[in-house]
Structure 1
Amino acid sequence: MATPDDLFAKLAELGLAVATREHAPVLTVEEMMAVTGDLPGAHTKNLFLRDGKKTFFLVTLRHDQPLDLKALRGVIGARGGLSFASAEALDEHLGVKSGAVSPFAALNDAGGAVRVCLEEALMRAATINLHPLTNDRTTAIAPADLVRFLAATGHEPLTFSLEAAA
């Protein structure tokens, strides 16, 4: 599985500009905001989910966006109920631990088993703050550059709007 250094090398290879801050490890949005809340750009929460057909979804949205899994199911095309995927599935498909989940982990999904879903409002921010495969750093990237990175990993993200589901 890729390391943060592998990720930064891939971003550099693609010519994508990022800025990274090191900080104490964080496991929750609250902990993250305590150490990175002063950073400009959108802060995120990232969910690794699976549906009733065992399709995996990596969902990234604004850190303060309320989430209704039932409404989300319809806008991302999940079949059956949505639930959190196991830690084993997270490690197998994305190669990261809980607390370090972000779209950057698509680098480890060589088989394309995970559908990356990005909230529309998040994609309108000037920059998006994400964990770079570890929860002791936060990396800022422009939304268009994130999409370029995902394309280079073989992932075409689904952009969704929870407002459309309301």
Structure 2
Amino acid sequence: MRGEAGLLADLDALAIPFASFDHVAVFTVAESDAVNAAIPGVHTKNLFLKDKDGAYWLVTVPGEARVDLKALPAAIGSKRVSFGKAEDMARLLGISPGSVTPLAAINAPPGGITVVIDAGLAAADTVNVHPLRNTATLGLAGTAILGLLRHWGHDPLVAAIPLQD
């Protein structure tokens, strides 16, 4: 697993601009609200999911979004989904709950997980994500996140994520 050091090396090698913010550990979107107030850009939350056929999905949406989990499978081309287990997250992505980020795909073999980015985030100038730990936030363009995923051999899916009313 390449981890945060590999991530930072790739950001440097690919000349991807980013802002870095260290902060107290946050485990939920609610806990991160106070931290987020001082960090410009769109904040995110991530859903680590497993579908009926055993495929894993990492879905990144705006922090305030309430995803419609019943409508989500049709939007991403999956079958019924449920939340993945922490041990599968550690095995596939090398991270633990609270540190979930699309950037953890650096640790996953191509095809091991499908990363889905909300269409609005993909187009955003500054998207805030964890650098594989929940004591820091990186702010970078949505297009840069997609570029990193492709650099690591993943084919990210950009989708309109269905939300609850």
Same fold (TM over 0.5): yes
How far 1:164 moved relative to its partner?
A: 9.4
State the Cα deviation string for residues 106-135 of structure 1 (Å, max 9, x = none).
000024210000001222321100000000
Aligned to 1:85: 84
SS at match of 1:44: strand
Instruction: Could you tell me which runs of 5 or more consecutive residues in structure 1 were left unpaired when the two chains were aligned.
Output: none
Question: Which aligned pairs between 1:1-166 and structure 2 lie closer than 5 A?
Answer: 1-79=1-79, 81-162=80-161
SS at match of 2:20: strand
Separation (CA, whole Å) in 1 of partners of 2:65 and 2:99: 19
SS at match of 1:16: coil
* Contact 2:65–2:163 (8 Å) recurs in 1: no
- Taking structure 2 as the reference length, what is the TM-score of the superposition? 0.94
State the Cα deviation string for residues 81-121 of structure 1 (Å, max 9, x = none).
21000011100111100011111000000242100000012
* Contact 1:44–1:130 (8 Å) recurs in 2: yes
Count of matched residue pairs? 165
How far 1:3 moved relative to its partner?
A: 2.7
How far 1:147 moved relative to its partner?
A: 1.1
Percent identity between the two aligned chains: 38
* Contact 1:127–1:141 (8 Å) recurs in 2: yes
How far 1:20 moved relative to its partner?
A: 0.7
Q: Residue type matched to 1:132 in 2?
A: P
**RMSD (CA atoms):** 1.7
Separation (CA, whole Å) in 2 of partners of 1:149 and 1:88: 25
Separation (CA, whole Å) in 1 of partners of 2:164 and 2:26: 31
Separation (CA, whole Å) in 1 of partners of 2:52 and 2:44: 25
How far 1:165 moved relative to its partner?
A: 10
Higher mean C-alpha deviation, range 154-163 or range 20-29:
154-163
SS at match of 1:73: helix
SS at match of 1:162: coil
Separation (CA, whole Å) in 2 of partners of 1:58 and 1:43: 16
